[in-house]
Amino acid sequence: MDKKEYICIACPIGCHLTLTVKGKDQLIVEGNKCKRGEVYAQEEYFAPKRVVTATCASESVILPRVPVKTTAAIPKDLINELIKEIYQLNLKIPIKRNQIIIKDFQGTKVDVVTTRSINQ
């Protein structure tokens, strides 16, 4: 029997979850106040994902680094590769908010978009 502790980030409550693994396929989640907590604990156990936020270089003198984020969560084991790719970019201005700078990162169907517009 294996036990894991999590703090749920699926909603603002932040439930303290205990996931107990019994056998190959039986998972018991305790401490959740909603169904999302149960789903979150199971996803964290089998395939944890995160939304990534970062900054990307730009040609702007006013804002040399532009905030960017993924459009959805990606597997945690791909985060370092994504960050490296983001840091290699140098965006040309003008930059529009929600402009896709990386499309379908490594076949995940997740894009990286800018979160701010820059005109100069």
Residue range 93-116: mean pLDDT, rounded: 97
Q: pTM of the predicted model, to two decimals?
A: 0.82
Residue range 58-70: mean pLDDT, rounded: 95
Residue range 89-117: mean pLDDT, rounded: 97
Cα 19 to Cα 7: distance, rounded to the nearest angstrom = 11
- For the sheet with 26-30, list strands across it: 2-7, 16-22, 26-30
What is the number of H-type helices and E-type strands within the chain?
Answer: 2, 10
Burial class (CB in 10 A: 0-12, 13-18, 19+), 24: exposed
Does residue 64 have a pLDDT over 80? yes
End-to-end CA separation in angstroms for the chain: 58
Does residue 86 have a pLDDT over 90? yes
Does residue 84 have a pLDDT over 90? yes
User: Which residues fall within 8 angstroms of residue 77, CB to CB, at 6 or more apart?
Assistant: none
Does residue 1 have a pLDDT over 80? no
Residue among 65, 81, 69 nearest 115 (CA): 69
pLDDT of residue 113: 98
The DSSP H or E segment spanning 41 is helix 35-46
Does residue 120 have a pLDDT over 90? no
- pLDDT averaged over every residue in the chain: 94
pLDDT band at 23 (very low <50, low <70, confident <90, very high): confident
Structure tokens belonging to residue 46:
């089998």
Does residue 25 have a pLDDT over 90? no
